[in-house]
Structure 1
């Protein structure tokens, strides 16, 4: 299949910066991060007709897999001289944690402002319902109602993004 440069350029333009930021949070080597981003975008481009959910979610999951594959390959390869001084490659758990954080941030941004504010207050800032009501200047009953509908909407968004829970 010939490379459609316009499609690849559009993927880079729309998602390249966020993808590279994610990869750099997993590895401190900028050259390796560029390689991972390039490989990820080419893999996603090859599978583009089969992608049914969020393209960004698919990109991040693909990048995660590329990072893990590279880590596993490096573990099978015999060490080269001086390689002992290099920092270890990321652990799979750390990459998964970062991926979950990125996907959750994207999902939260898709919520309405009111729903996002309530969820952030209750789950990230760890406010009680009363504290959130004071902070957001709304009644406690409204906080509870918005929290219920926000979680429901968030589940729908995560399902659309094909995020495994």
Structure 2
């Protein structure tokens, strides 16, 4: 969705919610089990993205998910600033932050993989996710081993380009 001066603010916010709201809410709910808090995070995320819309380059969805991650972390930090209760809260915060990072990385990688051609995606999934050897992948995909190697090489290059376009830092 192009974000330009010809669209009203309400239209921009409505389009963000329409196009990305359900996926964003699922992501936030996977980080927190509180539905009210998830709704607050989604609302804050859309507000921040709407405020920075003209400066956004790359994937809007990636920007939304990174912003939601930052909002979640800000909320945890704000809650931590309250008078400290001794106990497992600090450990829980660190685990939650790691879980959010892991979920964000998973979402971004899934989006990047969807942008690859089917042939490149199949080879990468076979080699890196299913842990097949080149020979096993060749047999499974019914292509020569050399083709598996070639597709894997070009798929990784394409994936790096896609991740760069999405603004993902390595």
Aligned-pair CA distance for 1:79: 7.1
| Aligned mate of 1:117, from 110, 113, 122 | 122
Q: Deviations over 1:14-67 (max 9, x none)?
A: 111111111011001111001000100010000000001111111000000000
Verify: 1:146 aligned to 2:151, yes or no: yes
With structure 2 as the length reference, what TM-score do the two structures score?
0.88
Q: Is residue 42 from structure 1 mapped to residue 51 from structure 2 by the alignment?
A: no
| Superposition CA RMSD, Å | 1.8
Aligned residues: 158
Would you say 1:164 and 2:169 are equivalent positions?
Answer: yes
Report the counterpart of residue 69 of structure 2 in structure 1. Answer: 64
1:10/1:143 Cα in 2 relative to 1: closer, same or farther (>3 Å)?
A: same
| Structure 2: gaps spanning 5 or more residues | 1-7
Q: Does 1:29 align with 2:34?
A: yes
Distance 2:75 2:94 in 1: 9
Q: After the TM superposition, which segments of 4 or more aligned residues of structure 1 sit over 6 Å from their partners? A: none
